[in-house]
Amino acid sequence: MTTLDRDETRTPTVPPRPVVVGRPLPLRVAVPMAVAAGLALLVAFPPYGVWPLAPVGVALLAAAAHRRRLRAGAGLGFLTGVALFAPLLAWTNLHTGYLPWVLLSLLQAGYLALLGAATAWVSPLTDRSRWAWPALTGLLWVGQEALRDRTPFGGFPWGRLAFSQDSSPLLRLAALGGAPLVTFAVALIGGLLVTAAWRGFTAVRQTPPGGETVRRWLPVAVPAAAAVALGAVGLLVPVASAGSGAPVTVAIVQGNVPRLGLDFNAQRQAVLNNHVDATLELAARVAAGTQRQPDLVVWPENSSDIDPLRNPTAGARIAQAADTVRAPILVGAVLLGPGPGEVRNAGILWRPDTGADLSQLYTKRHPVPFAEYVPLRDVARMVSKQVDLIRNDFVPGSTPGVVRAGPAVLGDVICFEVAYDEVVRDTVTGGAQLLVVQTNNATFDVAEARQQLAMVRLRAVEHGRAALMASTVGVSGFVAPDGRVSDATGFNTREVVVREMRLDDGRTLATRLGWWPELALAGLAAAALVGAAVLRRRQRVLPG
């Protein structure tokens, strides 16, 4: 056999699979798309609640940033972030001036800038395999939210995709993997939409006139149908409509404040009196037989900004309410100490006859930076003198909000803590049978309150627990384990609502898995970024 014959019998070398690379969309198209993406995402959240627009917003940003340079992708993501967060967080501008609102909005938009850059970075992967586009989109969104939820100063999870789906079938997915799985599903649908649209655009351009219609539209129909099917898949996830345990009658007292705004602190005696008087009126209705006897009464955050453990008058008023209604009251109180110049935002159980039960006291674990405490105060003061309005820093608690109230074990979280996965989960794994969110919306507006209620709905489904939100001014209400809201109150009104709820001791798959779904999805997002780097390097060294 000759050398030529031997060469001909060798297995031919398989050339690298070519990557079809085209042009990105023109900037004159991509920029309006990025802005439209932010607006579509905005309208998906309460108070608008048009949840199907969330995946549309995801798709618009994915298309706008595809095949861009990193700087351009970051810029487009930033435009989306500003269009989303500036109006979504407008309630932070109501009583504190524009500066906190602007800074917070720009900071949150910065994370979407990172998302835009990451979307541009993984473009070679999506060009290599168009069917990878949906999964990559979902993974990058989860990774971005995992970072934003934790940095800086503990993060700010407001505006997560999952929180836009409170009325969507996808909400049920929270029972399997919590908020990260819901976010992944929303972004995955967005990825399917952009895949369908991009393939359709390519098919129209490349298919010659008179070409096969099936060949032209099949690549569009398949991802589009998959997006619709995935949107309905949540209906297959079983969730309970009520707890399976003992019934408990709970009253929410929404006492209201004399005036909305930051000076609710100056009205603290009036706010306390409002909640005491509303509870006494409830007791009178119970005595008259027109209202059932509650087993538990829940007051909101800041219902007693006068420390009832140190102020005898405040303590006497709360004791009067508890003794008259003949039920323990979970009071939202500001407590002085433990150190000089320090305060605590707490939920404390006040029992009839015996008073404050210091063994059942929860101190807020996640105070809000620049609202309840000021990190880097000297530096922050150079940005705004308003930081000195916060004279005393709230100190965080160290234990989950598991409050044993007698008839029920409560999972107490305070205000913005409902947005943090681990804070709520820790109460359930600690034995909570009923989720309670104490909040004060007197410095915000009804849009913020409804956004917060959407988070409560997700938490109820995530952990299979009945839940409630008690606010000083609204919106307060009860939430079933399937996310349905009952007896929601009006905003800036004084109301008392009473409802029988069923407790539950079970654990959903999401509760058992904890943070593992988010860790797995975020890890895959990091792996995708590394994979894109490898592919980019190979493309640079290929000959020709």
pLDDT at 3: 44
CA dihedral 207, 209, 210, 216 (to 10 degrees): 20
Mean pLDDT: which of 29-33, 240-244, 534-538 is highest? 29-33
CA 454 to CA 483: how far, in whole Å? Answer: 9
Q: What is the DSSP letter of 540?
A: H
pLDDT higher at 537 or 517: 517
pLDDT at 222: 86
Structure tokens of 472? 């000083």
- Contact call for residues 480 and 466 (beta carbons, < 8 A): yes
Range from 139-143, 409-413, 457-461, 540-544 carrying the lowest mean pLDDT: 540-544
Share of the chain above pLDDT 90, in %: 76
User: Can you tell me the mean pLDDT for 38-52?
Assistant: 98
Element (DSSP H or E) covering residue 182: helix 174-206
Structure tokens of 300? 């909101």
Closest CA to 422 of 508, 516, 317: 516
Structure tokens of 385? 């003198």
The architecture CATH gives domain 247-507: 4-Layer Sandwich (3.60)
Amino acid at 63: A
The residues assigned a catalytic role are: 301, 364, 415
Structure tokens of 42? 């905005």
CA 315 to CA 532: how far, in whole Å? Answer: 62
Nearby residues of 512 by Cβ (< 8 Å), 6 or more positions away: none
CA quadruple 252, 312, 415, 427: dihedral sign: negative
DSSP 300-321: -TTTB-S-TTT-HHHHHHHHHH
CA dihedral 495, 500, 506, 508 (to 10 degrees): -50
Q: Give 326-382 pLDDT, tens digit per residue.
A: 999 999 999 998 888 889 999 999 999 999 999 999 999 999 988 888 887 767 777
Query: Would you list the domain boundaries of the chain?
Result: 27-205+214-240+516-541, 247-507
